[in-house]
Amino acid sequence: MLRQQALAALMLDTVPAKVAAVLALDPAGPVAPGLRLVPSAPLPGRPPRPALVAPAEVPRRSLYTAEGRAALLHAIAHIEFNAIDLALDIVWRFPDLPEDFYRDWLRIAREEAQHFTLVDDHLRTLGYAYGDFAAHRGLWDMAEKTADDVLARLALVPRAMEARGLDVNRGIRDKLVQAGEVAAGPILDVILRDEIGHVAAGNRWYRHVCRERGLEPLAAEAELAARYGAPKVRGPFNLEARRAAGFDAAELAALVAR
């Protein structure tokens, strides 16, 4: 069953095994939405490297050094690796949702694995690999905070933290290219294209759960952000990408007004 397979992949603690397991998932397989699953190992399974530190302890490096460019690419790889875990986690953790919910997030897990592979393969051409630099746990910390409620997860991970990637992608891409990392440009373009679809799925399912619970989406999101201590989202915003990802006019106006 796909939800069981997603949990099994999430528990894997080596990079090649996790990526291979995710890419082998067939989103058309049986889902079993009603299953209550229990992990048999700590979540998520993690490789021994990279070392995880507080965000403020991640060293800043100049993009005009080879090490600095590799460090930034490593940070992107880390985000994509965490995104694999986030997509797998939402599949196994929350039962009794429509089958298409699980199929959407399994597709997203596969695309995140493809993104990770693109970045890590390129990092290796520079003489580095995933694990060579320290990283932080920001995305997974919010996943743990929202483990009790699928509505909170959808509001604060895809609609907030992952949507932030839509805002910053173009600036990071341009800085890398200007610093001489030309081959990174097309990789960031692929990631932006696919992430628009990932955030769109988050928007679609967030609204679905809001309708099921009789909630107004904007008001519910504000309440959830306060309850779970979500970081404030600050501009500048990529409004074009956010529109493409399904944010409506009222949501964008509220975002800009913050």
Nearest CA to 150 among 219, 202, 113, 81? Answer: 202
Burial of 203 from C-beta contacts in 10 A (0-12 / 13-18 / 19+): buried
Residue spans of beta strands (DSSP E) within 40-137:
none
- How far is it, in rounded angstroms, from Cα 67 to Cα 181? 12
- How far is it, in rounded angstroms, from Cα 203 to Cα 187? 24
Nearest CA to 114 among 174, 43, 27, 194? Answer: 194
Nearest CA to 5 among 24, 81, 15? Answer: 24
Answer for the pair 156, 224: CB distance below 8 angstroms, yes or no.
Answer: yes
Question: pLDDT 10s digit of each residue in the chain, 258 long?
Answer: 899 999 999 999 999 999 999 999 998 899 999 999 999 999 999 999 999 988 888 888 889 899 999 999 999 999 999 999 999 999 999 999 999 999 999 999 999 999 999 999 999 999 999 999 999 887 889 999 999 999 999 999 999 999 999 999 999 999 999 999 999 999 999 999 999 999 999 999 999 999 999 999 999 999 999 999 998 888 899 999 999 999 999 999 999 887
